[in-house]
Structure 1
């Protein structure tokens, strides 16, 4: 035990000699988590609270265009603009402004949309009523070709696909509701008000989101709850870089040889490094939580609500820190120079984060990458954090993920010891 404490003390002395690097381990993750959360929270608010200015060209001037304008105006997503500088805009103007990036979207309503829709609906209703034998067949002699109409959408070329899809879905739903109402009105005219009075146009089917509850309080996920665990994990794994560099320094400066001439096993040296850097990982974790709970509300971000999960979150952080330290020990043992360990360590952490779902959700990845993500220790840690914080799972439910992190640490350390023994034997 005395040798272990001396090994830990030695690691602390080494860290004290590089206070700048130690500060970076804490300051950079804080800057990262604040910046990313601010960006994502701002994006979330833009999509849900702020209204996006869009151009609307009304070539119809009928009931349908009035309903479209009314529905868009009542939505919480769009600020409809039909006049610029007191002049009614046309399609050419709207196209130019959108393609130049001044506006995100322009909606062009074609001419005679209202009259064409009414004529088409009347024609279809008349055919149905004729088939039921409730109308004369005289009207069927008058057939007129009614060409379909297009509501054209112009998007800024820089618009994301998700935004385009959402807008198309919103417009399509709006047009479908207008068509349904037109069909209902046409049947009302054919059957009479008395026959349709019993029918109600209110929606029968509605949607309600059910969210998890904690102490009779809804647990609504926000940008903070997603970002704090993700980027805390990313920061903890970046311990790989200074840890591997430290091990390489010891080999190149002869420190490791002097240590091995003493009756100290390599396992004891590794244990000292593990405990020291695991403490740093936990300090990073606690600092990130403090920022989410006390700093974020002061800069307009949602507060991090742990809802009694602090202990379990700490357990997940402990096992994640073990995985990060184990990876750093293996890298430092195998690498021969700092030029090998530092770039490879930083790049590998970024790759593990990208694959593990820290940057892009796993469900949004291609199918093959979803399987690859399951092999990333960052994915195991991230899923464990989410299970505790967002899904309110118990320790037994997340134990497979914790076991995988612990096994990863043991495998990394085991390989390090085997590699070191073989290298010394040679």
Structure 2
């Protein structure tokens, strides 16, 4: 036992004296986690950023102006009016994700096509190919504004001319189909309503001009949403997931360094001198594994302490956090031993181990949450230990699942630690 404690103490002292390793394994994950956390939404108090779009307003009709004004009033958009050439240049260079062109005469043509469905005008959109998601959002918001402005103009008293054209395009009353007859009845009633509003407005304000011609502001979305974010724990904090992901990644890099350190010790003859001492190989390997696990545990606790103090990350279950951190630390230490056991040279082992680690953290949801993966990939990643580690840290932070929610993840981590450790011991004994 004295020899084991001495080996652990030696490894801890050497690691703490290595300032470069401390910076790589502690400072870098904190910086990267802060960056990714801001991308994932940051803290609940941070305001969601607006979408920048460009608008080329070539249609100066009433409908065209209402569409532009509606886009500018939308709280999710930041609208900049540009010429068509400027809009194309900004989208092409990545300075704008989407630009909308409202061509001349669009309002009148859209009004004519509202009921007939014929000769629909085109609305050109320029977009950055990397921003297809933003394009879909802008198209949805644009549909709302176009429908509201067009229906407002057509159904108002100044849309009487459009109604006349609709009626004129219909066949004679005795030759209409059932749908055409119903449309004719609707348009006839609308025409009477428009004429009545025009007569009333002319009698009340004969000299007024530019009055609002919308009966009720035009067609608009007939509902509003009441959003409620639900989780068992504190409010969602994007930094919680990013610190879990970056912590898992860089602590695995620490495990690689631990394995490479054993290979370097073998090359320099230090390993043989250790084995020549009155200690067993099992004691030497156990010392390396325990010291590596303690270092990993300390790093993870330090990272989440920074997350709590600086980025307001909440740990809903401290006991659950310690359980998942300890199980992941043991898996990391066993992973380092596995690298040392099967690595032939430090150089070759570092390259292969780094590649394998990057694949694991990518599939484990350390960079982006695993729930955005395709369904088949989500099932495949259950075979990757990092997936369980990231899910475990999510469980004890923003998901608030408590100690009971981390036992499956901790059990899987311990299972991988046992497999990696057994393979490493078997290889070393050979």
Which interval holds the TM-score relative to the shorter structure?
A: 0.7 to 0.9
**Structure 2 Cα separation of the partners of residues 393 and 27 of structure 1:** 28
- Contact kept? 1:241, 1:346, Cα under 8 Å: yes
CA RMSD of aligned residues (A): 3.6
Residue-by-residue CA offset, 1:64-118 (whole Å, 9 max, x unaligned): 32221121111234333336xxxxx3x3454345435554432111333322233
Task: Give 1:142's aligned residue.
Answer: none
Give the Å deviation of 1:358: 1.2
Runs of 5+ unmatched residues, structure 1: 84-88, 125-145, 297-302
Residues 157-172 of structure 1 aligned to structure 2 (within 5 Å): 159-172=130-143
Give the Å deviation of 1:45: 11
Residues 205-220 of structure 1 aligned to structure 2 (within 5 Å): 205-212=223-230, 219-220=234-235
**Structure 2 Cα separation of the partners of residues 258 and 204 of structure 1:** 80
**Structure 1 Cα separation of the partners of residues 85 and 273 of structure 2:** 79
Pick closer, same or farther for the CA change 1:306–1:104 going to 2, 3 Å: closer
**Structure 1 Cα separation of the partners of residues 155 and 334 of structure 2:** 68
Name the SS for the 2:414 alignment partner.
helix
Task: Give 2:210's aligned residue.
Answer: none
1:149 aligns with 2:121: yes
Pick closer, same or farther for the CA change 1:262–1:339 going to 2, 3 Å: same
**Structure 2 Cα separation of the partners of residues 246 and 415 of structure 1:** 18
- Contact kept? 2:55, 2:80, Cα under 8 Å: yes
**Residue number among 275, 290, 295 corresponding to 1:275 in the alignment:** 290
**Structure 2 Cα separation of the partners of residues 229 and 366 of structure 1:** 21
1:6 aligns with 2:6: yes
**Structure 1 Cα separation of the partners of residues 104 and 219 of structure 2:** 28
Q: TM-score, normalised by structure 1?
A: 0.77
Give the Å deviation of 1:287: 1.6
Residue-by-residue CA offset, 1:284-309 (whole Å, 9 max, x unaligned): 11221222233x3xxxxxx3231543
**Structure 1 Cα separation of the partners of residues 305 and 17 of structure 2:** 27
Name the SS for the 1:56 alignment partner.
strand
- Contact kept? 2:97, 2:127, Cα under 8 Å: yes
Pick closer, same or farther for the CA change 1:224–1:381 going to 2, 3 Å: same
Residues 80-119 of structure 1 aligned to structure 2 (within 5 Å): 80-82=79-81, 89=83, 91-101=84-94, 103-119=96-112
Residues 308-323 of structure 1 aligned to structure 2 (within 5 Å): 308-323=316-331
- Contact kept? 2:90, 2:96, Cα under 8 Å: yes
Q: TM-score, normalised by structure 2?
A: 0.76
1:235 aligns with 2:250: yes
Residues 248-327 of structure 1 aligned to structure 2 (within 5 Å): 248-294=263-309, 296=310, 303-306=311-314, 308-327=316-335
Task: Give 1:391's aligned residue.
Answer: 399
Q: Which region of structure 1 is more displaced relative to structure 2, 305-314 or 377-386? A: 305-314
Runs of 5+ unmatched residues, structure 2: 157-162, 164-185, 197-214
- Contact kept? 2:256, 2:336, Cα under 8 Å: yes
Give the Å deviation of 1:410: 0.5
- Contact kept? 1:244, 1:331, Cα under 8 Å: yes
1:29 aligns with 2:29: yes
- Contact kept? 1:121, 1:182, Cα under 8 Å: no
**Structure 2 Cα separation of the partners of residues 284 and 306 of structure 1:** 18
